[in-house]
Structure 1
Amino acid sequence: MDNEVIMKFRNKGIKIEKTKSRHEVFSTLYQSDPSLLGLQSASSADRLSMIQIDEQKMNEL
């Protein structure tokens, strides 16, 4: 991730550690504020299913 983007999120109070994977960063941002990612808000069940699908895709790679 670009340092400028990381600083933007840190200024909003969202912590992104350098050791986190992109998936963890995406999940954290999505849970904190979906609008930061340009996505519509979804229910917790929908979010969980999306995360599980993403994990399956990552395992396939």
Structure 2
Amino acid sequence: MDSQIIMKFKSKGIKIEKTKSRHEVFSNLFRSNPSLLGFQANPLTEKLSDLKGEDVKLT
């Protein structure tokens, strides 16, 4: 799923730096604009919004 989302961002011209962890990228995007992730109905979004800076790695 992560790679599908990354490809979606690339197709929209959004660059994701290789030095950033995917968790950091996705949590920052979710906080700034959840619609970019495109899975609001997914229970994962609730978990991501609850993290708020906790150091948790998504796999």
Structure number with higher helix proportion: 1
Greater C-alpha radius of gyration? 1
Q: TM-score range by the shorter chain?
A: 0.3 to 0.5
- Taking structure 1 as the reference length, what is the TM-score of the superposition? 0.44
TM-score between both structures, scaled by the size of structure 2: 0.45
